[in-house]
Structure 1
Amino acid sequence: MTSSDSLTGRVALVTGGTSGLGAETARTLADRGASVAVVGRDRDRGETAAADLATRTDGTAEFYRADLASQASVRRLAAEFRERHDRLDVLVNNAGTFRAERTVTADGVESTFAINHLAPYLLTHSLLDLLVASPSARVVTVSSGIHTRATLDFANLQGERGYDGMTAYARSKLANVLFTDELADRLAETAVTATAVNPGFVPGTGLARDASLRNRLLLGAFARLPLPFTKGLEEGAETLIRAAADPDLADVTGVYLSDGEVTASSEESQDEEARRRLWDVSAGLVGVSPDWAV
């Protein structure tokens, strides 16, 4: 894409949009004229980000404070957005976490699974009618290449036994791909597309703020060194931007973008029975009907 691809008149919502890949994505969307709403936990950082976006776009810039670990907070976020908007053209489910130790949210769900998978699932559900109201909407969910290392064990989906932080993270990223494929199938008769993206290894995102000290130091070193397998924020965000705005992908749905290109996801992610079961289990965990997108 080039800077001539105008997004004037489009409305975008970016979770985790106050720092890292989300902030870079929000800035690029604003630079192309979109009205951009960013979601984050820190009010000062969020208001600063929104003020910067306002100087970049012909549209509007907004900040919504939300804790995506809380289902009630996700629902409030959706309700607040709905009060101000009658449609949504681009939803970027970018926010994520990596937890070295197993923690549980107020809803009783393991935190990595709750933030990385259930929050996008519930937020997309809560904003679905605004997406359908758009003449051409996109749901972009940030996964990772590490999803290829994961399998789903529905008897231990939340790591109740033998928790490992990397395994939990990889499982949540596999869930992102499965969610995207199932969403695409269920919305096939609408103008809403769904895409999962792998931005590559971007150590400067702040994702590992809850990781072990050793891993935080390691990622900090990766961020400073010119290593061939790492990416800066701008380069990493390019895949998100392509999924969110490239006109060549306007009618493409249910795909996995890695390094900007449509790529085959893992064999595990192709399991239709697993993705439907995950959809139903997720519906139960957030308290909605599993038929919500049919």
Structure 2
Amino acid sequence: MITGANSGIGKATATEIAKRGGTLHLVCRNKERAEEAKREITETGNQNVFLHILDMSNPKGIWEFAEKFKTEHKLNVLINNAGCMVNKRELTEDGLEKNFATNTLGTYILTTALLPLLEKDDDPRVIIVSSGGMLVQKLDVSDLQSENVTFDGTMVYAQNKRQQVVLTEQWAKVHKNIHFSAMHPGWADTPAVRSAMPEFYEKMKDKLRTEAQGADTVVWLAVSPAAAKQTSGLFFQDRQPVSTHLLLARTSSSPEEEEKLIEALEELSQKFKPT
């Protein structure tokens, strides 16, 4: 299962896994673009490609999707790739800040809801497509929805990506039968980079990776026997585990702060869980 699979790293990952014969569940928000992506992916000759239309900023919708999916399918790899970076503070219909709702809460709900299904598999894996941008951020659980700061979409996105890395590490400690990893795809030329970071794109466009190059480590983490032998909970770049902190950056968080993140997400997620 790949979220955000209709473009960029997600679609490149899906295409490569399709070439290798995998059954794919594409989770996308936009039906039209999702159908176009599916058409392109099935050109690999693999027809085992299934579409699921879901907005990852809608927590109730994610719960409902996951509960239904568990009754109909099996799952051995979950790739949390969907991402959001809006540069002005925007609230969802549920009153949640949109970046946080998509990147952190949405990832948390989908993953926790599908853990029981993943546990049934022989070689289950969960991969989060994070970002090297998180290296500038220390985990901050005091203001998860950016209510008390001057809003900066790039920094909020980076904070969400730090939260994803912490979640990966925490899940790996608890769910020993599942292999968890987070990764940085490198800076790739994707629609998301072009639209969310236009100045960065203009400056760096000649040096950016292709989508396929950005997806390489995701595919490796999803299907390679060598990847499964790596310690669970690590952060990868170019198929290698790398540090989650820059030297002298003071971005490490305490176990208490990390526990607070989990508690806050669990409490929020339960508010939206259908009874």
| Fold match by TM threshold 0.5 | yes
Q: Deviations over 1:210-260 (max 9, x none)?
A: x4xxx43x255357x422xx2110111111112111211213311100122
Is the contact between residue 66 and residue 74 of structure 1 (CA under 8 Å) also seen in structure 2? yes
Distance 2:147 2:194 in 1: 21
Is the contact between residue 141 and residue 257 of structure 2 (CA under 8 Å) also seen in structure 1? no
Match of 1:237 in 2: 215
Match of 2:263 in 1: 280
Distance 1:271 1:231 in 2: 35
The CA deviation at 1:203 is 3.4
Extract unaligned runs of 5+ from structure 1: 1-12, 289-294
The CA deviation at 1:80 is 3.7
The CA deviation at 1:44 is 1.9
Match of 1:17 in 2: 5
Which residue type is aligned with residue 127 of structure 1? L
Question: Out of 86, 90, 95, which is 1:108 matched to?
Answer: 95
The CA deviation at 1:108 is 2.2
Match of 1:152 in 2: 139
1:193 aligns with 2:179: yes
Aligned length: 265
CA RMSD of aligned residues (A): 1.9
The CA deviation at 1:30 is 0.8
1:82 aligns with 2:100: no
Question: Out of 224, 227, 243, which is 1:246 matched to?
Answer: 224
Distance 1:274 1:34, change over 3 A: same
For 1:49-68, what aligned pairs fall within 5 Å after superposition?
49-56=37-44, 58=46, 60-68=48-56
Is the contact between residue 121 and residue 282 of structure 1 (CA under 8 Å) also seen in structure 2? yes
For 1:161-176, what aligned pairs fall within 5 Å after superposition?
161-162=148-149, 163-176=151-164
Q: Deviations over 1:96-149 (max 9, x none)?
A: 011110112222221111101111110011111110011011000011111111
1:264 aligns with 2:252: no
For 1:197-212, what aligned pairs fall within 5 Å after superposition?
197-207=183-193, 209=195, 211=196
Question: Out of 185, 188, 202, which is 1:221 matched to?
Answer: 202
1:118 aligns with 2:105: yes
Q: Deviations over 1:176-228 (max 9, x none)?
A: 1000000000102x2x110000001113242563x4xxx43x255357x422x
The CA deviation at 1:24 is 0.3
Distance 2:45 2:263 in 1: 39
The CA deviation at 1:274 is 2.3
Distance 1:22 1:46 in 2: 11
* Larger RCO (alpha carbons 8 Å, 6+ apart): 2
Is the contact between residue 40 and residue 66 of structure 1 (CA under 8 Å) also seen in structure 2? yes
Q: Deviations over 1:59-79 (max 9, x none)?
A: 611010001110122123213
Q: Secondary structure at the match of 2:190?
A: helix
Is the contact between residue 34 and residue 57 of structure 1 (CA under 8 Å) also seen in structure 2? no
Distance 2:252 2:227 in 1: 21
Match of 2:85 in 1: 98
